[in-house]
Structure 1
Amino acid sequence: MLTADGVLGCMLGRKIADGASGEIFEALDEATGQTVAVKILHPRHHGKKAEIRRLFTEGSFGLRLRHHDHIVRTLRMGDVAGVPYVVMERVPGRSLREILRERRLHDGELLRLTVAMAKALQHMHDLGIYHKDIKPDNIMIDFALGSIKLLDFGFAETRLKASLPFFGRTLEGSPAYMAPELLTDRRASPATDIYSLGCTLYEAATGSVPFPGLSDGEIMAKQTDLKLRPSPIVEVNREVSFLTQKIVLTALEKKISFRYRSADEIWLELARHPSVQYGYVSL
Structure 2
Amino acid sequence: MKKLLTTIALITICSCKSSKNQVITKQEKLNNEPIAFVSDRDGNPEIYIMDSDGKNVQRLTNSDSLDFSPSWSKVDNKLYFYSKRDGNSEIYSIDIEDKNLIRLTNNPANDVLPVPSPNGNLILFMSDRNSSSKNLYAMEKNGSNIKALTNNRFYEESPDWSPDAKKIIFTRQLRDSSDTSHAGNGEIHLIDSNGSNLIRLTNKDGYDSGAKFSPDGQKIAFYGYNQNQWDLYIMNSDGSNLNNLTNDTIECYSPDWSSNGEWLVYTAGKDGNYNIWKINIKTKERIQLTNTKGRNEGPNWR
What range is the shorter-chain TM-score in? Answer: under 0.3
Higher helix share: 1
Structure number with larger C-alpha Rg: 2
Higher relative contact order (CA 8 A, sep 6+): 1
**Bigger proportion of residues as strand:** 2
TM-score (norm 2): 0.26
